[in-house]
Amino acid sequence: MKISKLKLSGFKSFVEPATLFIEPGLTGVVGPNGCGKSNLLEAIRWVMGENSPKSMRSGGMEDVIFAGTQSRPPRDFAEVVLQGATDEDDELEVVRRIERGAGSAYRLNGRDVRAKDIALIFADAATGAHSPALVSQGKIAQVIAAKPTERRMMLEEAAGIAGLHVRRRDAEGK
């Protein structure tokens, strides 16, 4: 999966439509505290189908919509567009939009699709909202401070075997 372009509109602090081009190679995002670096990573996770408001540092999913400031009114929707290519080099455009009171809607290459269809595209371990490639702020400190059993759970999650325990318990009838 390659991401080549991101468009954000009304998403968190990105109130005005912003387009970012991601060139091949390494990309660094730098800026002062609070300028929106983490918000940008959260936008990538969100457009790939993240459904936990907590991992968006939000109380409810609508909190990702620009909430307004003293000088700017709040927005009534947030939209993130991800353009890129799959490992098979097929062009990909995913759009997620949330409106106040109306929930999220997804489009894939111009067609309305279900959240499930988006989840399937990003289902392999290397990409997707829960990919171990996306390391949130504070996660490293959490790994260091974790108890051995918690750390093992994190490693199993990263290795993609956490689900096997559930299936084993299920098979044992527990």
Buried-state track 82-95, b at ≥16 Cβ within 10 A, e below 16: bbbeeeeeeebebb
Give how many residues touch ligand ATP by CB under 6 A.
Answer: 15
C-alpha 108/C-alpha 94 separation (Å) is 5
Report the DSSP beta bridge partners of residue 108: 94, 111
What is the rounded CA–CA span in Å between residue 56 and residue 42? 6
Query: x-or-dash pattern for ligand ATP, window 49-68, by CB under 6 A?
Result: --------------x-xxx-
13 near Mg ion (CB under 5 A): no
39's contact among Mg ion, ligand ATP, none, with CB below 5 to 8 A by partner kind, is: ligand ATP
Q: How many CB atoms lie within 10 A of CB 156?
A: 14
Residues 112 and 94: beta-carbon distance below 8 Å: no
Instruction: Give the shortest CB-12-to-Mg ion separation in angstroms.
Output: 11
Query: Which of Mg ion, ligand ATP, none binds 22 (CB below 5-8 Å, type-dependent)?
Result: none
3-state secondary structure 49-81: CCCCHHHHCCCCHHHHECCCCCCCCCCCEEEEE
The yes or no reply on residue 38 touching Mg ion (CB under 5 A) is yes
Question: No. of H helices and E strands in the chain?
Answer: 5, 6
4 binds, among ligand ATP, Mg ion, none (CB under 5 to 8 A by kind): none
- Can you tell me the distance from the alpha carbon of 6 to that of 27, in angstroms, rounded to the nearest whole number? 13
Among 24, 25, 28, 34, binds ligand ATP (CB under 6 A): 34
13 binds ligand ATP (CB under 6 A): yes
- Indicate the residue whose CB is closest to Mg ion: 38
For ligand ATP, which stretch binds (CB under 6 A), given 31-39, 82-90, 112-120, 164-172? 31-39
Residues at the annotated binding site for ATP?
32-39
Residue numbers at the binding site for Mg ion (CB under 5 A) = 37-38, 137
Residue numbers at the binding site for ligand ATP (CB under 6 A) = 12-13, 31, 33-39, 63, 65-67, 137
